[in-house]
Structure 1
Amino acid sequence: MTDLKTHLHTYLKAQRAALLLKLDGLSERDARLPRTPTGTNLLGLVKHAAACELGYFGETFGRPSDLVLPWEIEGVDPDDNEDMFATETESMADVLAWSQACFDHADATIEALPLDAPGTVAWWPPERNRVTLGQIIIHMALDEARHAGHADILREQLDGRVGLRSEGNNLPEWDEERWAEYVGRLTRIADRHG
Structure 2
Amino acid sequence: MDDEKTTLHRYLKAERASLLSKLDGLDEYAIRRPMTRTGTNLLGLVKHVASVEVGYFGEVFDRPFAGELPWFAQGAPANADMWATADESREQIVELHHLCAAHSDATIEALSLDATGTVPWWSEQNRRVTLHRMLVHMSVETARHAGHADIVRELVDGSVGSRPEDPNVPDIDWAAYVEGVEAAARRVGGVE
Question: 1:179: Cα distance to partner?
Answer: 1.1
Matched, 1:84 2:82: yes
Q: Distance in 1 between matches of 2:40 and 2:75?
A: 19
Task: Give 5+ residue unaligned stretches, structure 2.
Answer: none
Question: 1:99: Cα distance to partner?
Answer: 1.4
Question: 1:159: Cα distance to partner?
Answer: 1.0
Matched, 1:117 2:115: yes
Q: Distance in 2 between matches of 1:146 and 1:77?
A: 28
Q: Deviations 1:66-93 (Å, cap 9, x if unpaired)?
A: 11224344xx525521110111211111
Q: Distance in 1 between matches of 2:61 and 2:165?
A: 37
Q: Distance in 2 between matches of 1:167 and 1:110?
A: 27
Percent pairwise identity: 54
What is the SS of the residue equivalent to 1:131? strand
What is the SS of the residue equivalent to 2:117? strand
The one of 129, 132, 153 equivalent to 2:130 is: 132
Q: Distance in 2 between matches of 1:143 and 1:15?
A: 9
Q: Distance in 2 between matches of 1:98 and 1:183?
A: 38
Task: Give 5+ residue unaligned stretches, structure 1.
Answer: none
Partner of 1:105 in structure 2? 103
Q: Distance in 1 between matches of 2:75 and 2:51?
A: 16
> What do you get for the CA RMSD once the two structures are aligned?
1.4
Q: Deviations 1:103-141 (Å, cap 9, x if unpaired)?
A: 110011001000000000010011110000000010010
Q: Distance in 2 between matches of 1:167 and 1:120?
A: 38
Partner of 2:185 in structure 1? 190
Alignment of 1:36-185 (within 5 A): 36-73=36-73, 77-78=75-76, 80-166=78-164, 169-174=167-172, 178-185=173-180
Q: Distance in 2 between matches of 1:188 and 1:167?
A: 33
Structure 1 length normalisation: TM-score? 0.93
The number of residues matched between the two structures is 189
Question: 1:168: Cα distance to partner?
Answer: 7.1
Q: Distance in 2 between matches of 1:127 and 1:62?
A: 19
* Aligned partner letter, 2:63: R
Q: Is the 8 A contact 1:19 1:151 kept in 2?
A: yes
Q: Is the 8 A contact 2:150 2:160 kept in 1?
A: yes
Please list every run of at least 4 consecutive aligned residues from structure 1 whose deviation after the TM superposition is greater than 4 angstroms: none
Structure 2 length normalisation: TM-score? 0.94
